[in-house]
């Protein structure tokens, strides 16, 4: 019975930490995206539009300047940040599966 409570406490602590980390990592990603989108500008030379690409492991942002002729010109090198929410989601999934296996093994042994 004591093992069951220890495992349950570990699962609860692990999940609370994952939830808090997931929330803060989402705020970090959205701050990155907000910074990019707030730098869009219109001037006499054309329009500078932020481009954002989100894939599994990273979020990449860069700027394209659209001239009055309709030509897109990259204005800066891409900036990438890790996609922490995606990574933390899979860490939480694997961690919960590992705890489930430990709990089932503990029940099987007793």
User: 56 near 86, Cβ under 8 Å?
Assistant: yes
pLDDT in the model for residue 85: 92
Q: Tell me: the pLDDT tens digits for 72-86?
A: 777 778 889 999 999
Q: Does 109 have pLDDT greater than 70?
A: no
* Domain housing 54: 2-109
DSSP 40: -
Question: Can you tell me the distance from the alpha carbon of 51 to that of 36, in angstroms, rounded to the nearest whole number?
Answer: 8
Number of structural domains found in the chain: 1
Question: Which band of pLDDT confidence, cut at 50, 70 and 90, is reported for residue 1?
Answer: low
User: 63 near 51, Cβ under 8 Å?
Assistant: yes
pLDDT in the model for residue 110: 62
Question: Can you tell me the distance from the alpha carbon of 67 to that of 48, in angstroms, rounded to the nearest whole number?
Answer: 9
Q: Tell me: the pLDDT tens digits for 28-84?
A: 999 999 988 888 887 777 788 888 898 889 999 988 887 777 777 777 788 899 999
**Cβ of 88: how many Cβ atoms within 10 Å?**
19
Q: Tell me: the pLDDT tens digits for 7-29?
A: 788 889 999 999 999 999 999 99
Determine what percent of the chain is predicted with pLDDT higher than 90: 39
CA-nearest of 53, 64, 60, 58 to 79 is 60
Question: Can you tell me the distance from the alpha carbon of 47 to that of 66, in angstroms, rounded to the nearest whole number?
Answer: 5
């Amino acid at each position: 019975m004591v093992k069951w409570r220890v495992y349950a406490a570990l699962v609860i602590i692990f999940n609370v930490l994952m939830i808090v980390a997931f929330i803060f990592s989402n705020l970090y990603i959205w701050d990155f995206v907000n910074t990019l989108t707030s730098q869009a500008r219109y001037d006499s030379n054309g329009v500078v539009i932020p481009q954002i690409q989100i894939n599994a492991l990273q979020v990449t942002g860069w700027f394209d300047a659209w001239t009055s002729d309709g030509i897109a010109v990259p204005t800066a090198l891409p900036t990438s940040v890790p996609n922490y929410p995606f990574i933390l989601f899979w860490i939480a999934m694997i961690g919960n599966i590992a705890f489930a296996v430990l709990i089932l093994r503990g029940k099987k042994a007793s």
